[in-house]
Structure 1
Amino acid sequence: MLKIYNTYIHIPFCERKCNYCDFTSLKGTDNQIEKYVNYLLKEIDIYSKNYDLSEKQDTIYFGGGTPSLLPIDSLKRILSKFSYDENTEITIEVNPKTVDINKLKEYRNLGINRLSIGIQTFNDENLKVLGRIHNSEEAIEVYNIAREVDFKNISLDIMFSLPNQTLEMLKVDLEKLILLNPEHISIYSLIWEEGTKFFRDLKAGKLKETDNDLEATMYEYIIDYLKSKGYEHYEISNFSKKDFEARHNSIYWENKNYLGLGLSAAGYLGNLRYKNFFHLKDYYDKLDKNILPVDEREELTEDDIEQYRYLVGFRLLNNPLIPSKEYLEKCEILEKEAYLIKKENGYILSSKGLMLFNDFIANFIDD
């Protein structure tokens, strides 16, 4: 029976969907959230019949949506299904508007030891454009309260390449970010996803994409600035202080197994990659029949698993990836083209590979 050491739990509810967001998220009442948690617990019980969930978890990650909307009792019920201790990295994504000192204290009491706070920007006008429900003052206050209640591992999310954002605006965001001194920083460029309000506004001419050259300049500035402040750029979008890399997210990039639970959640178990149903009705209907709510599944061959190793592994910027014989020639060619750098017995991305990552990684995708 396959042992499970890492778990992702998707909580799809939000107070309001952000204008740029294409993740599965819904506005939920207390009753709807309670119902969802009951079904989530049922999904865990079904998995426990086929996989060994009794092992102490290395990581547990509550993502969303807005997991911080969950009542404390619901979090307690979910966590009771797993074995964990103070060495388990337990992360919950937090919207600053949805927590207070009491909830943060309860998180600590439950054993949650890592916060991922979705700040996105410290510019209040840009926060309104993004459709966020908090302002910069509230974000900073929540961060400071988290420190008061003894959170020692906090990650902050920041976005760039926002509509009408200038390089100077970004610099101000980064300066305010560094003053907070978080252990971990995730920085993402805005992606114009179909189905979002942003995408509709883009097509209608109400918004305009950032110039590619400016976006590249912003990214390069972020890298140089955060490195100068002592942060390690360990993954394409992630920076951390020493020994504060995101352990859970690193599982994805290291191509390791994890259990994915909840609406639209993805998982990777053994040689199976899967994704759950996108609609609540389908998710509930399957669980009512004691069937796992898996919508898409991919049985991987050894060749598939090897290919995935390159698709995700090169995102880790300081971990040399040692190629198999089948991929060695490809890596040697990419080294000659200056996309890769030889390091120890393997390869890491060069600056060119980092800046042109989509072009680079296409070399590992089967036609």
Structure 2
Amino acid sequence: MLKIYNTYIHIPFCERKCNYCDFTSLKGTDSQIEKYVNYLLKEIDIYSRKYDLSEKQDTIYFGGGTPSLLPIDNLKKILSKFYYDKDTEITIEVNPKTVDINKLKEYRKLGINRLSIGIQTFDDDNLKFLGRIHNSQEAIEVYNMARKSGFENISLDIMFSLPNQTLTMLQNDLEKLVNLNPNHISIYSLIWEEGTKFFRDLKSGKLKETDNDLEASMYEYIIEFLKSKGYIHYEISNFSKQGFESRHNSIYWENKNYLGVGLSAAGYLANVRYKNFFHLKDYYESLNRNILPIDEKEILTEEDIEQYRYLVGFRLLNKIIVPNKKYLEKCVSLHKEGYLIERENGYILSHKGLMLFNDFISNFIDI
């Protein structure tokens, strides 16, 4: 029986959907949230009969949506399904508007030891433009409350390449960001996802995409600035202080098994990649029949697994990828073209490969 050491738990509820967001999220009443959690617990129970969940979890990650909307009792019920201790990395994503110092202290009592706070920007006009429900002062206050509550591992999210954002505006965001001294930083360039308000505004001409050269300059500036402040650029979109790399996210990039539960959650178990139903009705109906709510499933061959090793592995900037015979010629060629740097008996991504990652990684698709 496959032993499970890493779990992702999707909580789909939000106070309000952001203008750029295409994730599965919806506004939920207290009774709707309670119902969802009960079904989530049922899904975990079904998995516990198929796989071994008795092992100590290495990582547990509450993502969303806005997991910090969940009442403490609901979080306690979910965590009671798993064996974990102080060495387990337990992360919860937090919207600054949805927590106070009492809730943060309760998180610590439960064993949650890592926060991922969605700040996005410290510019209040841009926060309103993005559709965020918090302001910059609230974000700073929540960060300080988290430190007072005993959190020693805090990650902050920041966005760039926003419409009408200048390099100076980004520089101001980064200065305020590093002044808080978080342990981990995730950066996201704005992606125009179909179905979002931003995408509709783009198509109607109300908004324009950031110039490619400006976006590249912003990305390069972020890298150099954060490195100069002592952060390690360990993954394409992630920076950390030494020893504070995200253990949970690293399992994705290292192509390791993980359980994904909840509405639209994805998982990877025993060479099977799967994704749950997108609509609550389908999710609930499946679990009512004691069937896992899986909508899509891909059984990976050994060749697929080998391909994924390159598709996700090169995202980790300091991890040496040793190619097998089939991919060796491709890596040698990409090294000659300047996309890869030779290290020992393998390769890591070069600056050129980093800046042109989409072009680079396309070389490993259907090779």
Does the residue aligned with 1:109 lie in a helix, a strand or coil? helix
RMSD over equivalenced CA pairs, Å: 0.5
1:70 aligned partner: 70
Tell me the distance in 2 between the aligned counterparts of 1:279 and 1:222: 37
Task: Kindly provide the CA deviation profile for residues 164-214 of structure 1, in whole angstroms up to 9, marking residues without a partner as x.
Answer: 100000000000001000000000100000000000011111111100000
Is the counterpart of residue 103 in structure 1 residue 103 in structure 2? yes
Does the residue aligned with 1:49 lie in a helix, a strand or coil? helix
Tell me the distance in 2 between the aligned counterparts of 1:244 and 1:228: 17
> Which amino acid in 2 is paired with 1:315?
R
1:27 aligned partner: 27
Tell me the distance in 2 between the aligned counterparts of 1:201 and 1:82: 44
1:171 aligned partner: 171
Does the residue aligned with 1:47 lie in a helix, a strand or coil? helix
Tell me the distance in 1 between the aligned counterparts of 2:139 and 2:117: 8
1:304 aligned partner: 304
Does the residue aligned with 1:108 lie in a helix, a strand or coil? helix
> Which amino acid in 2 is paired with 1:334?
L
> Which amino acid in 2 is paired with 1:349?
L
How many Å apart are 1:290 and its aligned residue? 0.1
How many Å apart are 1:346 and its aligned residue? 1.2
Aligned ranges 1:178-193 → 2 under 5 Å: 178-193=178-193
2:216 aligned partner: 216
Tell me the distance in 2 between the aligned counterparts of 1:62 and 1:24: 14
How many Å apart are 1:36 and its aligned residue? 0.3
Tell me the distance in 2 between the aligned counterparts of 1:366 and 1:39: 38
Tell me the distance in 2 between the aligned counterparts of 1:214 and 1:135: 26
Q: Where does structure 1 differ by over 6 angstroms across 4 or more consecutive aligned residues?
A: none
Q: TM-score, normalised by structure 1?
A: 1.00
Tell me the distance in 2 between the aligned counterparts of 1:293 and 1:12: 15
> Which amino acid in 1 is paired with 2:117?
I
Is the counterpart of residue 341 in structure 1 residue 341 in structure 2? yes
How many Å apart are 1:314 and its aligned residue? 0.3
> Which amino acid in 2 is paired with 1:80?
S
Tell me the distance in 1 between the aligned counterparts of 2:345 and 2:268: 28
Aligned ranges 1:185-264 → 2 under 5 Å: 185-264=185-264
Aligned length: 367
Task: Kindly provide the CA deviation profile for residues 237-264 of structure 1, in whole angstroms up to 9, marking residues without a partner as x.
Answer: 0000000000000000000000000000
How many Å apart are 1:146 and its aligned residue? 0.3
Task: Kindly provide the CA deviation profile for residues 309-334 of structure 1, in whole angstroms up to 9, marking residues without a partner as x.
Answer: 11000000001111111111110000
Tell me the distance in 1 between the aligned counterparts of 2:330 and 2:365: 12
Task: Kindly provide the CA deviation profile for residues 131-169 of structure 1, in whole angstroms up to 9, marking residues without a partner as x.
Answer: 000000000000000000110000000000011100000
Q: TM-score, normalised by structure 2?
A: 1.00
Q: What is the identity percentage for the equivalent residue pairs of Structure 1 and Structure 2?
A: 84
Tell me the distance in 2 between the aligned counterparts of 1:56 and 1:76: 17
Is the counterpart of residue 265 in structure 1 residue 269 in structure 2? no
Tell me the distance in 1 between the aligned counterparts of 2:357 and 2:131: 29
2:41 aligned partner: 41
Does the residue aligned with 1:62 lie in a helix, a strand or coil? strand
1:314 aligned partner: 314
Tell me the distance in 1 between the aligned counterparts of 2:281 and 2:364: 37
Does the residue aligned with 1:242 lie in a helix, a strand or coil? coil
Tell me the distance in 2 between the aligned counterparts of 1:31 and 1:148: 32
How many Å apart are 1:215 and its aligned residue? 0.2
Tell me the distance in 2 between the aligned counterparts of 1:134 and 1:234: 29
Unaligned runs of 5+ in 1: none
How many Å apart are 1:20 and its aligned residue? 0.1
Does the residue aligned with 2:117 lie in a helix, a strand or coil? strand
2:54 aligned partner: 54
Task: Kindly provide the CA deviation profile for residues 258-308 of structure 1, in whole angstroms up to 9, marking residues without a partner as x.
Answer: 000000000000110000000000000000000000000001100000001
> Which amino acid in 2 is paired with 1:136?
S
